[in-house]
Amino acid sequence: MIATRDAYGEALAELGGENDKIVALDADLSGSTKTGVFAKKFPNRFFNMGIAEANMVGTAAGLASVGKIPFLSTFAIFAAGRAWEQIRQSLAYPKANVKVVATHGGVTVGEDGGSHQSVEDIAIMRAIPNMTVIVPADGEETKGAIRAAAAYKGPVYVRLGRNKVANVFPAGHKFEIGKGNVVAEGKDLTFITTGLMTAQAVIAAEKLKEEGISARVLHLGTIKPLDKELVLKAAQETGAIVTAEEHSVVGGLGGAVAEFLGEECPTLMKRVGIYDRFGLSGKSDELLKYFGLNAETLIEQAREIVSRKK
């Protein structure tokens, strides 16, 4: 059990040793985002840009245009929020080879409160053409995702969390951009999940078994591009979908799945997430409970959707 941001720090420092084109940038949060691990190992290839996120994104675009592979980090709210247009214009529009690795996404930032809880970043990053959006479930997947992002040519947004999360994937798990993973098989419904909600779906599926409900768990580590094949298969084979994410239900994973299925294969659906409101201060576990981001909610929604199928 480690935090995805810790896995990022390790993976980036490791990659830095393999490829000297990799550079890192941060905006006065290198201890929290874990780019500090890279900075310690490769001080010459690390740029602390100060509390100036928009400039950091532009600088990364410049570095990329002369052949570097920049990884830039800050909290998700300041990356996707403050620097949205810089990311759109200077990174995505020209397909700049820059990786935005945003940490402290979602409500698990906790006590800092609503101003610091980004529950819209997946939606706004997904809306930008050329942008790849990755939300890993655990540390292992994060390591794979960072590696895949470095190998991929173009802009990537990776959303990570603050707290330790349970492992979903075994050590050495191979991550492929755009490919989902069926974590558990099932035929009555499918949980389509991302980030820390995947571990919750695994728990929910186990409990539902006792009630005679067979739930598939499809983890989408990449929100964009969407793994259409696995989503379509889940819809056709199980006939009911419950999505779950630590994010607004507007425009995130749930939105992406609903848009696709609405056109290709209209299917009974429920979205678990935050219903169009801001976060607030509290301990992260309390907040997850408060917003119903847990296995219990998934179980309730599964029961309900299965009963509606009949």
Ligand X SMILES: Cc1ncc(C[n+]2csc(CCOP(=O)(O)OP(=O)(O)O)c2C)c(N)n1
- List the interface residues with ligand X, window 46-75 (CB under 6 A): 51
Minimum gap (Å) between residue 248 Cβ and ligand X: 20
Distance in Å, CB of 125 to ligand X, minimum: 18
* 142/1 Cα distance (integer angstroms): 12
Give the binding range for another protein (CB under 8 A) out of 25-33, 177-185, 208-216, 225-233.
25-33
DSSP for 143-207, please give it: HHHHHHHHHS-S-EEEE--SSEE---S-TT----TT--EEEE--SSEEEEE-TTHHHHHHHHHHH
CA 35 to CA 40: how far, in whole Å?
9
DSSP H stretches of helix in the chain:
4-18, 30-33, 35-41, 53-65, 76, 84-86, 121-126, 139-151, 197-210, 228-238, 253-264, 284-290, 295-309
Q: How far apart are CA 207 and CA 214, in angstroms?
A: 10
Q: Which is nearer to ligand X, 167 or 281 (CB)?
A: 281
**Token pair in block for residue 142:** 């994060």
Which of these segments, 112-120, 139-147, 191-199, 213-221, binds another protein (CB under 8 A)?
112-120
Would you count residue 8 as binding another protein (CB under 8 A)?
no
Query: Which of ligand X, another protein, none does residue 239 bind to, with CB < 5 to 8 Å depending on kind?
Result: none
- 151: contact with ligand X by CB under 6 A: no
Cβ at position 258, least distance to another protein in Å? 30
- Count of residues in contact with ligand X, rule CB under 6 A: 6
Residue 111 binds ligand X (CB under 6 A): no
Crossing angle for the helix pair 295-309 and 197-210, to the nearest 10 degrees: 60
Residue 41 interacts with another protein (CB under 8 A): yes or no:
no
The residue ranges that bind ligand X (CB under 6 A) are 27-29, 51, 78, 82
The residue ranges that bind another protein (CB under 8 A) are 26, 28-32, 48-52, 54-55, 77-78, 81-82, 110-116, 280-283, 286-287, 290
